[in-house]
Amino acid sequence: MTYFLCKMILLRSDFAQTMTDAEKNIMKAHGDYLQSLAEVGSIVCHGPVDDPKGGWGLSIFSGKDQTEVERLTAADPIILDDDAGSKFTAQSMSPIVEGFGCRPIAAMRLAPWPASESLQ
């Protein structure tokens, strides 16, 4: 297996602070989708990144190749929703990670989007 760092780029830099109700529903579907992938081992971890330049989403995928990761990200509800305007970028991670004894952490659900909301 190869690990891939995936970055979900949002429609606008203040997306987390200005989501409409429809966008909140899409984000919930997005989070549920990623969590379902985590539960079957396709994602090692995922969650929002609070970047001062604008929030974005991070996922570490585990897959046989980039094509598999692209297929999984293409099926994400936030990508399928034309109005969301989000996209994923994916980069393979160095195989040296496992050589140093690093192992994938258990899949976990991080704070809901946006991070400023209380934990569910």
Residue 115 banded pLDDT, cuts 50, 70, 90: very low
Does 108 map to a domain?
Answer: no
Q: What is the CATH number of the domain that holds 74?
A: 3.30.70.1060
Structural contact between residues 26 and 77, judged by C-beta atoms closer than 8 angstroms = yes
* pLDDT of 93: 82
Does 105 map to a domain?
Answer: no
d(CA 95, CA 31): 27
Does 56 map to a domain?
Answer: yes
Does 69 map to a domain?
Answer: yes
Question: Whole domain around residue 52: which residue ranges?
Answer: 2-99
**Domain count of the chain?**
1
Does 117 map to a domain?
Answer: no
Weakest mean pLDDT among 7-16, 62-71, 76-85, 109-118: 109-118
* pLDDT of 91: 86
* pLDDT of 14: 85
Give the tens place of pLDDT for each residue, 22-76: 999 999 999 999 999 999 999 998 988 888 888 889 999 998 999 999 999 999 9
Does 57 map to a domain?
Answer: yes
Does 72 map to a domain?
Answer: yes
Residue 100 banded pLDDT, cuts 50, 70, 90: low
User: What does 11-63 look like in DSSP terms, one character per residue?
Assistant: SSTTHHHH--HHHHHHHHHHHHHHHHHHHTTSEEEEEEE--TT--EEEEEEEE
Average pLDDT, the chain: 80
Does 109 map to a domain?
Answer: no
Q: Which residues contact residue 81 at a Cβ distance below 8 angstroms, ignoring those fewer than 6 apart?
A: 26
